[in-house]
Amino acid sequence: MKSSSQRFVSLQDAADTLGVHYMTAYRYMRHGRLVAHKEGGIWKVAAEELQRFQDERSDSKEPPTHLVRKRQIGRAAPWCNRLEACLLVGDAAGAWSVLEAAIDSGREFEEVYLDVLSPAMVTIGERWHAGKLDVYLEHRATVIATRLVARLGAKSAHRGRSRGTVLLGALSGELHSLAISILADVVRLARFEVHDLGADLPSESFLSAVRHYDEILAVGISVNSVESRPIVSNLIKKLRDVINEDVWVFVGGRAIARQSDAHDLGADEWALDARSFVASLDLIVQTRNKVTSNKAIRKQGSTS
């Protein structure tokens, strides 16, 4: 609860005080470690809260990011293990009950997608890859997971003003549509309007879709096999002719390991996973809002 006597600083100032990048402070906030609220489109942190965060950090030396992530997944691990067991025996009803129980126990939808369902699929994939699972077991698990995503999407959907339109898809030869659906839902949870074009889409159809929508904020292309890179790079070249300069082109997926891979393909940005993708989209929106309000202030100044 805010009280009028409290002093607030912007998230950027909080990041400077903590000696971290803005995006890091932003992640602290998104993960609930630093409490902030939005005021006039800008994230604000109470001075007291910043002090508490600093004290906590100096008590326990900040763990490296990969440990923080492990700890989060750790919280969801029991659900993830139970879900994986249901997926492996083809128990669709049991799998849904696990997700419902995780939600009832207070797990956020984002956690359910990313720390319960996704790691269960990753482990199943690893075991299949290692030859420890027959391929039909992986296929059956994927079919159930796809149905779970449909149910989760319906349960977590919210109405309200969209913060921007995002188009997601993968090109011909790329079959990993489940990853795109999960990504799409997590981005929707952050109040963006997402058009999920699915996988295995011919480049020309991808371009038609992009032409169809007005005012796109970002286009995201999922790339899981290295062989797809040439057609992705080709598509991005063509995309530049049909989108405005301020539309962001992202690539992600298992065949894109770093930012330089994205730049080599002609994309503007890369995101490792759904959380960092949402963080980047948030930043884009924030920067746009800032520019728009600065313009408005300048306009007001020149007319008064």
Q: Which two tokens stand for residue 157?
A: 């959907």
Is residue 258 a contact residue for ligand B12 (CB under 6 A)? no
The rounded distance, in Å, linking the Cα atoms of 280 and 292 is 18
Of 13, 91, 268, 273, the one binding ligand B12 by CB under 6 A: 273
Is residue 176 a contact residue for ligand B12 (CB under 6 A)? yes
Nearer to ligand B12, 14 or 124 (CB): 124
Is residue 76 a contact residue for ligand B12 (CB under 6 A)? no
What is the rounded (10 degree) CA torsion for 255, 260, 266, 271?
Answer: 60
From 16-24, 43-51, 87-95, 269-277, give the range in contact with ligand B12 by CB under 6 A: 269-277
Nearer to ligand B12, 164 or 252 (CB): 252
Instruction: For strands 269-270 and 216-222, give the pairing.
Output: unpaired
Q: Which of 137, 115, 116 is nearest to 125 (CA)?
A: 137
| SS3 call for 8 | strand
The rounded distance, in Å, linking the Cα atoms of 246 and 143 is 37
Of 49, 84, 110, 174, the one binding ligand B12 by CB under 6 A: 174
Q: Which of residues 214-253 bind ligand B12 (CB under 6 A)?
A: 220-222, 224-225, 250-253
Shortest Å distance, C-beta 283 to ligand B12: 13
From 88-96, 120-128, 236-244, 294-302, give the range in contact with ligand B12 by CB under 6 A: 120-128
Shortest Å distance, C-beta 155 to ligand B12: 18
What is the rounded (10 degree) CA torsion for 132, 134, 138, 144?
Answer: -130
The rounded distance, in Å, linking the Cα atoms of 107 and 105 is 6
Q: Which of 82, 277, 264 is nearest to 167 (CA)?
A: 277
The rounded distance, in Å, linking the Cα atoms of 264 and 278 is 22
Of 122, 150, 157, 242, the one binding ligand B12 by CB under 6 A: 122
Is residue 142 a contact residue for ligand B12 (CB under 6 A)? yes
Shortest Å distance, C-beta 94 to ligand B12: 19
Q: Which of residues 180-219 bind ligand B12 (CB under 6 A)?
A: 182-183
The rounded distance, in Å, linking the Cα atoms of 142 and 197 is 19
Sign of CA dihedral 252, 257, 259, 264: negative
Is residue 274 a contact residue for ligand B12 (CB under 6 A)? yes
Torsion angles phi and psi, residue 20, rounded to 5: -125, 165
> How many residues at the interface with ligand B12, by CB under 6 A?
35
Point out which residues bind ligand B12 (CB under 6 A).
114, 118, 121-122, 124-126, 129, 138-139, 142, 173-179, 182-183, 220-222, 224-225, 250-255, 271, 273-274, 277
